[in-house]
Amino acid sequence: MAPVVLVRADAGPRIGSGHLVRQLALADLLAARGAEVVVVTTGDDPRITAAGHRNLTVPEQADATGRPWPVAAQLADARATIERAGGAVDVVVVDHYGLDHVWEAEVRRIADRVVAVDDLAGRRREVDLLVDHNWYGAGSAGRYDGTVPDGCELLLGPRYALLHPAYAELRKESSPAAVPPRRLLVSFGGTDPAGETRTVLEALRGRPAFERVEVVVGSRAALAPGLEDLVADVPGAELHVALRSLAPSLQRADLAIGASGTATWERICLQVPAIVTTTAPHQSGVTRALAEAGLTTWAGLVGEVGVDGYRALLDRAAEGALPLPPPLVDGYGAARVAHAVLPTRPTGPDDGLRLRLAGPEDAPVAVARGDDPAGWVAAGNRFASDLVVPDVVVVVVEVDGVPSACLRVTRDGPDVDSINHIDILDKRAAGIMDDVLDRLVWPCSEGEPTRLAALVPGQGGR
């Protein structure tokens, strides 16, 4: 019988679409692992059924305000969720600013395993696994100290960015952004209540034209009056409404202007420099930290940047003065989380284990460790160097198709000091490393091209 995963998330004009979008990315990967995914919301959302998942609805709580909601509202929502579920499920995943340990303790009546996806920290949780793909600067790893139970597994940082699986594939095909940028993407997410898209378009009028300007609005409801006329006034501009995925437009871009949230990690994954305007104070921490580390450009809060502010930033972009995104996100974050939500049950010691030679697209596997930007830069430089040094080969360890570690191998064998830990994707993790090291050999002789054979029984290296 397929495991059942119940997801509780919401979307709407007030809270945006970010929670639901990232849960749909996770849901698709859980379904690929054989799960039946049921998404519980306070209103029907066609995106859920379009993705092939069941959508159950619960009543909106009248006093559901604040972060978190009052205890009575949380309990009412949890009990409505339990009633709609109609019985026990294997896992409950909650991604909601209004719900905390009160809701989580109540839903344990129907699930032995509860998972939270969070951004805020500071709330007590009653979960077995907590995921936060954000980075708030050095010390981010300690944000949940004292708020989760003993033994709760933490998956923290951009390595676990909850992006749609398409991003992992598109990243392999991405090329460096042109400088100066020729193609611009303007997108402020599923909603744009402050009308920031209009401000950017006004800043573009009368400027030297981009070859292409893609303006993406999340829904017809978010299409402000007069916006279509503004788009028509910008040479090379075209308007898209309610795209199924932003990924293809983002891949085509040399520069993106938009909101923070999950879009930050989407842009970094596809190596697109960005001008970021934060639409909510709770999202400013991540953008501020990235900007202070020299990893992105923070324009400011919505309503504060203005036409002149965007024009000044566009001038900087034309001069090639904006920072390039670091190699922190490879697009496999949601897959890593899916493995942790539903751990693999191997049929044998070699099940799911694969070794292959690394390519440039694998830099995040080596780089996205810890929370020190200087360490990321150093790791990225070393990784790039190792790919071209004749006497060094970098091997990627994959578990169930997910890149999990990079091993630096020389003629003398694996460089133990360079070995990154393998993610705890399943209960085999503790025994995998020794198995991997036993299989690495360097079949080299004088005059033969330097190469590595990464051998798994019945499978040669790439």
Diameter over CA atoms, the chain: 76
Q: Give the phi and the psi of residue 47 in degrees, each rounded to 5.
A: -65, -30
Q: DSSP character for 120?
A: S
Based on DSSP, count helices (H) and strands (E) in the chain, helices before strands. 15, 19
Q: Give the phi and the psi of residue 4 in degrees, each rounded to 5.
A: -110, 125
Give the active site residue among 19, 53, 101, 133.
19
End-to-end CA gap in the chain = 36
- Asked whether the bond before 149 is cis by omega within 30 degrees of 0, the reply is no
Cα 456 to chain centroid distance, Å, stands at 30
Pairing of strands 353-357, 297-301: unpaired
Long-range pairs for 47-50 at CB < 8 Å and ≥24 separation? 47/20, 48/20, 48/24
Q: Give me the DSSP letters along 14-56.
A: TTBSHHHHHHHHHHHHHHHTT-EEEEEESS--HHHHHTT-EEE
Pairing of strands 36-41, 255-258: unpaired
Any binding-site annotation on 266? yes
Q: Assess whether 282 carries a catalytic annotation.
A: no
Pairing of strands 4-9, 36-41: parallel
Contact 317, 296 (CB under 8 A): no
Q: What CA–CA distance (Å, rounded) separates 88 from 101?
A: 19
Q: What CA–CA distance (Å, rounded) separates 100 from 120?
A: 11
Please name the amino acid found at residue 137. Answer: G
Q: What CA–CA distance (Å, rounded) separates 259 from 356?
A: 36
Which pair of tokens denotes residue 273? 């420099």
Q: Which residues belong to the active site?
A: 19
Which parts are annotated binding residues for substrate?
Answer: 266
